[in-house]
Amino acid sequence: MLPSDLTCALPDFKYDHDSLVQIADTYLTPEYQDLQICYTDDEAFPDNAYREYTHDSGYCRWCMLFFKDLPEDFSDLPLIQDIAELFSCCDSQSTTEKVYENLFFFDIWGELPFHKDNPYRSFGFNIPLVGCSEPTQWWSEESNTLLHEADFSGPMMINTEVMHGCPANTGRRLFLSLDGFTESLSDVRHTLNAQGKIKQD
């Protein structure tokens, strides 16, 4: 499997980093815990416990917070329209309504274990916001070998049907991410290239 089948950087996609971090820090708090989908890797601890699960505790803990569930309406953000225009070739994300339905913050504390996202999405569109310096890795389940690793220096499409994770992460790692894709990353990458929306090497 080629690296281009696993990741596709979108360095020309523009977004307001500070505004997104401000929204995340407003709602990724204990006050809005009921809006969050939280996970831990230890069944001995309740999922709804909040900030105890940092890298200091030694337990992996991460959560998802969807824009559609926020008490404030952000559907008029220019970012929503920009994403819909970028992925107009995808039936799953071709309108602002679909993008808003599937857009979420992914807040990770500590190691992100290797996993697959299917059946929830065939690939993801991620925008790094906080602490994304450690590379994401993709592994072959058959040969137990490293297929590829990539740094999140900017927006990127990633293959989520192949086992991936970030075992080296120790602190907070926050992304804006888009759920719900049903198309393959390779097909979308080729289409975006043909439309002149990305440049392939």
3-state secondary structure 139-179: ECCCCCCEEEEECCCCCEEEECCCCEEECCCCCEEEEEEEC
Number of domains in the chain: 1
Containing structural domain, residue 98: 3-194
| Domain assignment of residue 98, yes or no | yes
| Domain assignment of residue 201, yes or no | no
pLDDT at 119: 72
Return the structure tokens found at 20: 């997104």
Separation CA 125–CA 143 (nearest Å): 27
- pLDDT tens digits for 116-132? 876 778 899 999 999 98
| pTM of the predicted structure, to 2 decimals | 0.87
| Domain assignment of residue 54, yes or no | yes
Among 51-60, 64-73, 160-169, the range scoring the smallest mean pLDDT is 51-60
**What CATH number is attached to the domain comprising 88?**
2.60.120
Band of pLDDT at residue 40, cut at 50, 70 and 90: low
| Domain assignment of residue 199, yes or no | no
| β partners of residue 126 | 156, 177
| Domain assignment of residue 144, yes or no | yes
- pLDDT tens digits for 14-34? 999 999 999 999 998 888 888
Return the structure tokens found at 66: 């969807």
| Domain assignment of residue 200, yes or no | no
Separation CA 183–CA 29 (nearest Å): 33
- pLDDT tens digits for 75-104? 999 999 999 999 999 998 889 999 999 999
| Domain assignment of residue 91, yes or no | yes
| Domain assignment of residue 169, yes or no | yes
